[in-house]
Structure 1
Amino acid sequence: IHQSINLIAKFPTIIALAYQVLRHDQQGRSLHVRHPYENYSVAENFLYMMKGPGKYTELDVKILDLALILHADHGGGNNSTFSVRVTSSTETDTYSAVAAGIGSLKGPLHGGANVKVNGMLADMKKNIKDWKDVGEIDAYLTQVLNKEAYDKTGLIYGIGHAVYTISDPRAGLLKEMARELAKEKGRENEFAFMELIEERGVEVFLNYKKQGAKQRTCINVDYYSGFVYDAIGLPEEVFTPIFAMARIVGWTAHRIEELNFSSKRIIRPAYKNVRPLQDFIPMKDRT
């Protein structure tokens, strides 16, 4: 428990200082080392250490605080938390278990998704002349699904979730704060563009997959989180680390729960081969 509390407390400082070192060593910029204040919230301390005094607003703090709460936990089935639980079931140490979670979270289909959303939106801004033209937006999104646009993976980033279909409640809360933030920062046109992409993205995806009226999909929490972080002046390099800064709370809580099961069983999922049996071919006969 002491190790867990220690990690939760130190993650914001570790991330902020690591970024300051990165910008100094790799970008040749000044090295700013700012120590956290005891009377600041986690969100305000992080913005202070990243940006300096007087360079963030009350709304910046409020929305980052909300984002941290929304990302703090999402059950034991999400990939990174499950990785922590699986690793913890071997009774390894706290740091090894958390490292497993970080490795999982880094992936673009998990914690790195908001970076992909921002990249996709930047590409759309360059390639769509009229941000209000539904036809242009639909055509681009169809190209994405056909693996002809952006990173050619066939994924519309920020849309779809393994659990949520009607709505992701986290995304709804973050969207309303993002709307308020867009107004404060003078980015209302960009927000309106994202809203239209959200609307059209869901419809284009369902039509492309030929899913019936009963099948639905929705945006996930990653859709607006990247916009939020960018609007409050945080660099893309810390988008996924911010997710870790929040989710360390959930990771450590799940780890403690896992270690307190009386059965002390190791998690070992079963797998079933669904391919047809094949005859063995000697190495010399293989092509």
Structure 2
Amino acid sequence: MANIKTTLFEITDEIERLATLCAETNAIDKELYTKYEVKRGLRDLNGKGVLAGLTNISDVVATKMVNGEQVPCAGSLYYRGYNVKDLVQGFLKENHYGFEETTYLLLFGELPNKEELEKFQETLTERRTLPPNFVRDVIMKAPSRDMMNSLSRSILNLYSYDSKADDTSIPNVLRQSLNLISQFPMLMVYGYHAYNYRKGDDLFIYAPKPELSTAENILMMLRENKKYTKLEARTLDMALVLHMDHGGGNNSTFTTHVVTSSGTDTYSTIAAAMASLKGPKHGGANIKVTKMFDDMKEHVKDWEDKDEIRQYLMDLLEKKAFDRSGLIYGMGHAIYSVSDPRADIFKKFVKKLAKEKGFEKEYQLYETVEHMAPEVIAEKRKIYKGVNANVDFYSGLVYGMLDLPPELYTPIFAAARVVGWSAHRLEELKNVDKIIRPAYMALCPHRDYVPMEDR
């Protein structure tokens, strides 16, 4: 029998040969996409998406009509018709946490009054629990170094504990959704602690406190001393609100619609959305931004030297720096071409937080890159729409200043976006009874079978 380590974990010469054959077989002439008017990424050259559905949940606005023409404008994000900037300003001004209030809004379509919010918070609090021995039997068993994979496994395992797991009626799916929204911080934090324990760190598992908000509970459960500042909790709460939803077409939410349309269960649907969000082009982008800046700090000797920064950005685009992908992570967005409203909100907090935490130099470096990167990209590449900093550009810096571990950057995104996924799943179940199946044009000619001896 072949050595298991070689068989499973190494790329052998035979795999290399087969990979070359695979790459050659799967190559499609890029000009054919233009010839047959295929919208790669389901978007045209101007960034306009193919209309694939209708939604009342959120609206992403990046253009406006001027003299009968659509022109780019500063981006806006609306939850159930409310501008997210107004929502953030509202709960900050009223000095209360926004996650629970905004969750109610996305799920039920209206802002709750005081009594409705209190009842809803009680509902979430009651559901902040896991099945007996779940931490021991699931989370502690074979913890993954990637928290998104650990979370997905936990979510899929919850299926086994649900006697109505396959029931796709609205009341049952709402029940499952509220459970997952409430349980998510526990699954995330406990999974992180379990992995660290396997590495030799102390293990501490704290139960959530009913009097605390979602953001407060995340910080309390995460830290051994259970301590956090009001500013930290407020900032994390705001981050959760900003990441809750972003239209029906973002990759993980579209995945939610696609998988829901097949008639499958809630746990499988959310796990599929998690797989999408994990990708570095989607939710995993904030980690890439952070690592890119770490590399930049090592190679740029003077953080105030704009020529040195510009050269590093040029090296990024020319695949000479960092991961040699040719990308400046955190810059550009599928829809926004002038500004990402979430990044705008983050930036205001970043500046204040940087001053209080002593991160002024880091903030200045980020700001310099934000202003310089679009110019450098325009010099090196043909761009069809504007390039601007997206929400991932500043979120990693915010999480770093909050002393959150990088392993949880994307899971925190997921802890917020599970609200949006739940809302979109419920909307899909209510309105559409048709499986999503777009068309692909087959290019390979039909051939006659060739017997083995004639090949």
Counterpart secondary structure, 2:273: helix
Following superposition of structure 1 onto structure 2, how do residues 36-75 of structure 1 map, counting pairs within 5 Å?
A: 36-53=208-225, 55-75=227-247
1:24 corresponding residue in structure 2: 197
Q: Deviations over 1:75-127 (max 9, x none)?
A: 11000111111000011000000000000011111110000000000000000
Partner of 2:252: 80
Match of 1:268 in 2: 437
Question: SS where residue 75 of structure 1 aligns?
Answer: coil
2:219–2:226: 8 Å Cα contact kept in structure 1?
no
Q: What residue identity is the alignment partner of 1:25?
A: R
The answer to whether residue 424 in structure 2 is matched with residue 254 in structure 1 is: yes
| CA distance in structure 1 between the partners assigned to 2:230 and 2:178 by the alignment | 27
Deviations, residues 212-238 of structure 1 (Å, cap 9, x unaligned): 8xx421010000111111111110111
Residue 39 (structure 1) shift: 1.1
Instruction: Report the equivalent of 1:133.
Output: 305
Deviation at 1:251, TM superposition (A): 0.4
1:270 Cα shift? 2.1
| Alignment CA distance shift 1:125-1:281 (3 Å) | farther
**Could you tell me which of 370, 374, 383 is aligned with 1:198?**
370
Match of 1:111 in 2: 283
Distance between the aligned counterparts of 2:318 and 2:448, measured in 1?
A: 37
Query: Following TM superposition, by how much is the alpha carbon of 1:55 offset from its aligned partner in structure 2, in angstroms?
Result: 3.2
What is aligned with 2:411? 241
Please state how far the C-alpha of 1:271 moved relative to its aligned partner: 2.5
Residues 21 and 54 of structure 1: CA distance in aligned 2, closer, same or farther (over 3 Å): closer
**Structure 1 counterpart of 2:273:** 101
TM-score, normalised relative to structure 1: 0.93
Q: 1:5 to 1:279 in 2, by over 3 A?
A: closer
Tell me, which stretches of 5 or more residues in structure 1 are unaligned? Answer: none
Q: 1:216 aligns with which of 386, 394, 398?
A: 386
Query: Which residue of 177, 184, 193 corresponds with 1:11?
Result: 184
- TM-score normalised to structure 2 length: 0.59
Is the CA contact (8 Å cut-off) linking 1:81 and 1:254 kept in structure 2?
A: yes
Q: Matched residues in 1 for 2:270 and 2:436: separation?
A: 16
| Distance in 2 of aligned mates of 1:38 and 1:203 | 49
Task: State the match for 2:335 in structure 1.
Answer: 163
1:169 partner amino acid = P
User: How far 1:272 sits from its partner (Å)?
Assistant: 3.5
Say if 1:56 and 1:232, in contact at 8 Å, map to a contact too.
no
Q: Which has the higher contact order (CA 8 A, sep 6+)?
A: 1
The answer for the alignment partner of 1:142 in structure 2 is 314
Moved over 6 A (4+): 281-284
Answer whether contact 1:159 1:218 (CA < 8 A) is retained: yes
Equivalent position amino acid for 2:351 in 1:
R
C-alpha displacement of 1:23: 1.0
Higher deviation after alignment, 112-121 or 195-204: 195-204
Deviation at 1:53, TM superposition (A): 4.5
Q: Which one-letter code corresponds to 1:142 in the other structure?
A: M
SS of equivalent residue, structure 1 residue 196: helix
Work out which of the residue numbers 218, 232, 241 in structure 1 matches 2:402: 232
Structure 1 residue 32: Cα displacement: 1.1
Amino acid at match of 1:70: L
Partner deviation per Cα, 1:135-179 (whole Å, 9 max, x = no partner): 111111111111111001111000000000000000000111111
Secondary structure at 1:260 match in 2: helix
2:330–2:392 Cα contact (<8 Å) kept: yes
**Contact 2:208–2:217, Cα closer than 8 Å, also in 1:** yes
Letter in 2 for 1:86: V
**How many percent identity over aligned positions?**
48
After TM superposition, give the deviation of residue 279 of structure 1 in Å: 7.9
Q: Compute the displacement of 1:35 (Å).
A: 1.1
- Matches of 1:185 and 1:172, distance apart in 2: 20
Which amino acid in structure 2 is aligned with residue 190 of structure 1? E
Cα distance in structure 2, aligned partners of 1:206 and 1:281: 50
Structure 1 distance, partners of 2:273, 2:197, is 28
Greater shift, 155-164 or 177-186, is seen at 177-186
Kindly state the Cα deviation for residue 54 of structure 1 after the two structures are TM-superposed.
Answer: 5.7
Q: Distance in 1 between matches of 2:305 and 2:449?
A: 60
Q: What's the C-alpha RMSD, in Å, of the aligned pairs?
A: 2.0
Letter in 2 for 1:179: K
Aligned residues: 281
Provide the C-alpha distance between the structure 2 equivalents of 1:108 and 1:259, rounded to a whole number of angstroms: 29
Of the two, which has the highest radius of gyration?
2
- State the partner residue of 1:181: 353
CA distance in 1, matches of 2:445, 2:260: 37
Which structure shows the bigger proportion of residues in strand conformation?
2
